[in-house]
A and B are shown apart, each in its own frame.
Chain A
Amino acid sequence: MPDGVSAYTADEMMTIAAARMLRNGASCFVGIGLPSAAANLARLTHAPDTVLIYESGCIGTKPNVLPLSIGDGELSETADTVVSIIEIFTYWLQGGRIDIGFLGAAQIDRYANINSTVIGDYDRPKTRLPGAGGAPAIAANCGEVLITLRQNKRAFVEKLDFQTSGGHMEGGDSRANMRFPGKGPTAVITDLGIMTPDPVTKELTLTSVHPGMTVDAVVAATSWMLKVADSVGTTPVPTGTELSVLRDLQARTAKAHAGQN
């Protein structure tokens, strides 16, 4: 959906803004979908030395096309090493080796706790989602967590139908008191803007809106009364390089996935 003002889509802005959050050289545990696109864009632009890790056991992977699944052959063929599932979740994740966890979600609340399990009642769900996968362990154990998802009232909810993975729990020092190894979510990047937790209350606070978006629009796309920073910045527009690298990546991916192979 071109936004009419600039020649890029809201989804492209989201992926690019998320990619910029990944610092070069960090080890990053990557979820499938939006996080995978952002992490690989980062690797192909400003963060060539980022170590991308997928829960299938692929460590230091450098895929030429985005994987459809978390364990595509492309990931293992281009990895520095491939380890078993047992090992990835023990020595690597619980072992505290991972700097950044990069997650998506179906629902998120004001403290960046996330749901990827069910919409509705657990025993009689309206929508059964795929479930936790590695997310609870990623959210608990990585040094910090980035979350990327599209922003609307169905996703940004007052109360999660199910808490799959812990963010800042009830806010304040509640996460710290639970003795999670990692410090939790440090940014939520959406198609509308960027939210970061308040340093004290840990409540998500709108700190940047994407070009062409307004603070009111972001607030209106959030079910709770979204906290807004005193000074809200504007996310820098995508550069020509960011856009062309992302589009090339997605074109290669679409071509690879359309065929039988």
Chain B
Amino acid sequence: MAAILRLDEAIREFVHDGDTVALEGFTHLIPFAAGHEIIRQKRRGLTVIRMTPDVIYDQLIGAGCVSKIVFSWGGNPGVGSLHRLRDAIEKDWPNPIAVEEHEHAGMAAAYAAGASHLPFGVLRGYVGTDLPEHTSVRFIDCPFTGEKLAAVKAHRPDVSIIHAQKADRKGNVMMWGVVGAQKEAVMAAKRSMVTVEEIVDDLNAPPNSVILPAWVVGAVSEVKGGAFPSYAQGYYARNNAFYKQWDNVAKDRDTFAQWIDRHVMNTKDFAEFKKSIEGAPAHA
């Protein structure tokens, strides 16, 4: 059974310096609260995996938690660049970071292989692109047809962290809507933790709707609004205004540092963080 822990306890127990960590989420259900707690607890030297690193990875990178990123699309969706990611890659600030870059189909195959405990995933991919020179891809011959296929090394994170809508008191996790690669990320990981909008007595779950049964989840933490400014379908909408305003915060090193200091380092938890940005979501 999954342990029901406070988020700060779960991060303390599950995430260590130097770990390979996947905070997955594809636009929907991004584990922002968990990312903030990693920043608050000053984890360093992390290798972070994510198909679509967005604003929370920008914050982790700018706060100095990250030494390597493994990804396939790193931007602020619909807005533009992740300025902290760019500053780290282009100018080594606040520290140099290594980059392992994929295409989405490859990242998806790497997670599925990790979840299957296979050494690599196979796909008809990485063709017509310069990416193979910069990533962990090899080409193999199909043993049946001889077709040349791409093999991508499996993702096996030390810990995967996701946000979901609901869990029960045993830690069975229900999640719906855009579910991304979250199930695979959890199944591929050595340890896993899930933040949820609410923990309830009875999920009243229709068949197929419990994505992760309690016994494959390490810990569950209740964090209301824990995916803000992304969204949790059935609970709250995506705060697109925050994503747009983030561009101004992240553009400038000092503005960013002040924002992290004031809104993350000097708040005790995600509820306090959200109170601190009321009225001016993304201004320092």
Q: Mark A82-125, 1 if CB is under 8 A from B, else 0.
A: 10111001100110000000000000000001000100001011
- Complex interface: stretch among B172-180, B195-203, B251-259, B267-275: B172-180
**A181 CB–B CB distance under 8 Å:** yes
Q: Is the interface of A mostly helix, strand, loop or mixed?
A: loop
The complex places the Cα of A125 from the Cα of B101 at a distance, in Å, of 14
A73 touches B124 (CB 8 A): no
B28 touches A136 (CB 8 A): no
The complex places the Cα of A56 from the Cα of B233 at a distance, in Å, of 14
**A251 CB–B CB distance under 8 Å:** no
**For residue B179, which residue of chain A has the nearest CB?**
A84
**For residue B237, which residue of chain A has the nearest CB?**
A261
Query: Which of A67, A71, A94 has the most CB atoms of chain B within a 10 A radius of its CB?
Result: A71
Question: 18 A-B Cβ contacts within 8 A?
Answer: A68-B77, A68-B79, A69-B243, A71-B27, A73-B177, A84-B180, A85-B26, A86-B109, A86-B184, A127-B90, A131-B71, A131-B72, A131-B74, A132-B131, A137-B105, A139-B128, A178-B127, A181-B124
Pick from B105, B134, B179, B180: contact of A136, CB below 8 A. B105
Given the contacts A85-B104, A85-B180, A136-B127, A128 and B89 also touching, CB distance less than 8 Å: yes
Q: Mark B74-109, 1 if CB is under 8 A from A, else 0.
A: 110111011001100110000000000111110011
B130 touches A162 (CB 8 A): yes
The complex places the Cα of A134 from the Cα of B241 at a distance, in Å, of 25
Pick from A73, A85, A136, A258: contact of B125, CB below 8 A. A136
Interface size on B, residues (CB 8 A): 59
**A48 CB–B CB distance under 8 Å:** no
The 5 A-B pairs of least Cβ separation, nearest first, read A166-B128, A71-B27, A130-B75, A69-B77, A68-B78
Residues of B in contact with A (beta carbons under 8 Å apart): 26-28, 51-52, 71-75, 77-79, 81-82, 85-86, 89-90, 101-105, 108-109, 111-112, 123-131, 134, 147-148, 177-181, 183-184, 231, 233, 236-244, 281
- CB-CB under 8 A from B183, the residues of chain A are 84
The complex places the Cα of A131 from the Cα of B74 at a distance, in Å, of 6
Give how many A-B residue pairs fall within 8 Å (CB-CB): 188
- CB-CB under 8 A from B75, the residues of chain A are 129-131
A94 touches B178 (CB 8 A): no
**A165 CB–B CB distance under 8 Å:** yes
- CB-CB under 8 A from B241, the residues of chain A are 257-260
**A151 CB–B CB distance under 8 Å:** no
Q: A94 to chain B: closest CB distance in Å?
A: 5
A257 touches B26 (CB 8 A): no
**For residue B82, which residue of chain A has the nearest CB?**
A130
B73 touches A128 (CB 8 A): no
B240 touches A86 (CB 8 A): no
A71 touches B28 (CB 8 A): yes
B128 touches A140 (CB 8 A): yes
Q: Mark A159-181, 1 if CB is under 8 A from B, else 0.
A: 00011111101000001001111
**For residue A89, which residue of chain B has the nearest CB?**
B105
A68 touches B127 (CB 8 A): no
- CB-CB under 8 A from A163, the residues of chain B are 128-130
- CB-CB under 8 A from B240, the residues of chain A are 68, 256-257, 261
